[in-house]
Structure formats: C-alpha cells, structure tokens
Amino acid sequence: MIDPKITTFIWAAKLNSFTKAAEMLNLTQPAVTQHIKQLEEHYKVKLFKRVGRQIYLTEEGELLFKYAKEIEANSLFIERTLKNKSALNKRYNVGTTLTIGEFVLPDMLGQYKRHHENIDVIVHVHNTDENLKRLSSGELDLSIVEGPFDKNRFKYKKMRDDELVLVVSPASSFASKGEVRLEDVAYGGKLILREKGSGTRMVFENKMSDIGLSLTDLKVYMEVGSIGAIKSLVQANLGYTVVSMEAVEKEVRDGSLVVLPIQGIKIMREFNFIYMDMSQNSFIQEFMEYIMNFGDIIK
C-alpha cells in the first residue's frame, strides 16, 4: 500500500494546487498541507515553490515526483499481482491502439478466452501516447502499440510488421492515377488523419521527415479519432487517408475503397508488445506467445 503522504504529494504536483488535491482526495486543505510539510521535514528539502496563487515543484520536488510515480505504478502492479495469485479467475489489463484493438486483436482474444476460461483480459483502447502513460502509471499490465516509443524506457517484443497505405474513394481524382507522390498526399489539401499522439499519425509524419518533407506545411483537411469514421468520409469522397492495410481489407475487397501506391515509398511500421521491467510475469510471456503464434494455434 502506498503511503498516503506520497499520494497527496502526487495529486498536489499533478494539479499544482493543495486545494484541488484536497478536493480530489476528500481531505481538508490543512491535512494536505500537513502531509507535504511532513515529507519536506523527512527529506529536509522544499518540494514546492509558490508563484502568485499557483504552486510549482522545486527541482527536489520534480525528482521526488518522478520516483513517487514509479512507487505508485509498482504499488498498483503488486496489488493486481497478489490478487491474481490467489484468485480462481484472474484479471489482466491490456492496452491497445485503435487499429490493433479494432481490427487485429478481437478474433485472437475470442480464441484466447476459449483456451483460458479462468483469465479475463480487459482491453483498453487508446492512442499510443495514452497507452504509454497508462503503462507507466501501472494501470496496464501490457500494451500493444503501433507507433514509435522510447525503447530505452520500456521492455518490448515485436509482434509483427504492418503497412500503412494511401486509401481513396473510387470516385476520387487520385483513383485514376497509377501512383502519387508523397508530396501530393501531404500538401494536396484533402488529407484526413488520426489525431496527434496516434501511432498512425506519428509514423506518417516520421516518413515525411525521413525523406525531407516539411511537417510545418502538412495540410490536414480533417483530424478524426475514429477509423470507422475516417473510412466513411473517404468512401463519400470527402478526402483521402493513410491507414493500416489491416483496417481496410474488407472495403478494398468490396471495391468501396481503393489502395493507391505512393511513388517510390512504402510506409512500414511495427506492432509491438510493451511492458514495464517488473511486469515479466507468466501471463505476459504466455499471452505474447499465444498472439504471435495465433495462426498456428487455430489450424
């Protein structure tokens, strides 16, 4: 169990306010002040400085905040691990990004549950940035992401490769071309993309940077957080998009969307399992192996 004074400190640091921290934790403001004072006396440092009505972390406060978040994450993970140790039905939290959660994982999870009736896998779908935050905070046991991440900060294992493709309506002026340049895609004015922080967006922008195209001049016609909504907009010829081939296979087969090659370029990325150092438990290793060998398992 995490020390209540550390919990108080974390919320005061997150909210830059003793008053808001007190409201969040259902404490009185004097109780919050006392918790912070006790920590400062224990460590013999000032943790906060006041500027006007706002409070901000000192350098020492920033350092404690970094370690306090790790303590909080470890506490959550230990709590779940101990509960699962003695539970007949075990429960694990797995984060995924939108493409993986909507188009890649569902069939695999269905089969996994049939083979592991006493294990509940709770899937949380968010963009890559949010997955990394939740993994770091201890809310997730494992995450599967499609975007870049700090490989020095997390443990990871490659799941498989994925290709991003340019998708247009059959009625689009692009559809009659044999291929288009990435410059025309990025600066043409009708590009529909996921929001910033999504793996698809990051990989596309990284490819632009790799070949020397300016991100400052990128013209995004619409930002949409739903892949289904993006596909509907493209089918209605309201724009074009760059998306995982996994997400449009059905529409490409039925002819409602067309994949158009980008001249001289393939946009490849990885799907990766990511987890924290201490998270190497039997579930994570077994679950990763199951997903990676899924094709062989169902034969």
**100-138 tens-digit pLDDT:** 999 999 999 989 988 888 899 999 999 899 999 999 888
Per the model's pLDDT, the better-predicted residue between 128 and 78 turns out to be 128
Distance CA 13, CA 23 (A): 14
For residue 174, the model assigns a pLDDT of 86
pLDDT above 80 (res 295) = no
3-state secondary structure of 276: coil
Residue 88 pLDDT > 80: no
Distance CA 83, CA 106 (A): 26
Average pLDDT over the chain, rounded to an integer: 89
Under the banding of pLDDT at 50, 70 and 90, the label for residue 90 is confident
Share above pLDDT 90 across residues of the chain, in percent, rounded to a whole number: 59
Q: Which two tokens stand for residue 206?
A: 């990284």
Position 279 scores a pLDDT of: 55
Give the residue-averaged pLDDT of 192-211. Answer: 91
End-to-end CA distance of the chain: 45
Question: How many secondary structure helices (H) and strands (E) does the chain include?
Answer: 13, 11
Q: How far apart are CA 174 and CA 184, in angstroms?
A: 10
Asked if pLDDT for residue 299 goes beyond 50, the answer is no
Q: What is the pLDDT of residue 49?
A: 92
pLDDT(204) > 80: yes
Tokens 């990435």 identify what position?
Answer: 182
Structural contact between residues 46 and 40, judged by C-beta atoms closer than 8 angstroms: yes
Neighbour count for residue 37 (Cβ, 10 Å)? 12
| Stretch 205-212: mean pLDDT | 93
Bridge pairing between strands 119-125 and 90-96: parallel
Q: Which two tokens stand for residue 36?
A: 């912070």
Q: What is the pLDDT of residue 209?
A: 93
- Arithmetic mean of pLDDT, 165-194: 90
Contact 64, 44 (CB under 8 A): no
Q: What is the mean pLDDT of residues 245-249?
A: 93
143: pLDDT strictly greater than 50:
yes
- C-alpha to C-alpha distance for 52 and 59, rounded to whole angstroms: 19
Evaluate if residue 280 carries a pLDDT over 60: no
Is the model's pLDDT at 265 over the cut of 60? yes
294 confidence band (pLDDT: 50, 70, 90): confident
**Helix, strand, coil % in the chain, rounded to nearest 5:** 50, 20, 30
Answer yes or no: are the C-beta atoms of 242 and 167 closer than 8 Å: yes
42: DSSP letter: H
Of 31-40, 91-100, 243-252, 288-297, least confident by mean pLDDT is 288-297
pLDDT at 42 over 70: yes
Residue 165: name the closest of 257, 280, 102, 291 by CA.
Answer: 257
- Domains of the chain (ranges plus CATH)? 4-67 (1.10.10.10), 83-160+270-297 (3.40.190.10), 162-269 (3.40.190.290)
Q: What percent of the chain has pLDDT over 70?
A: 97
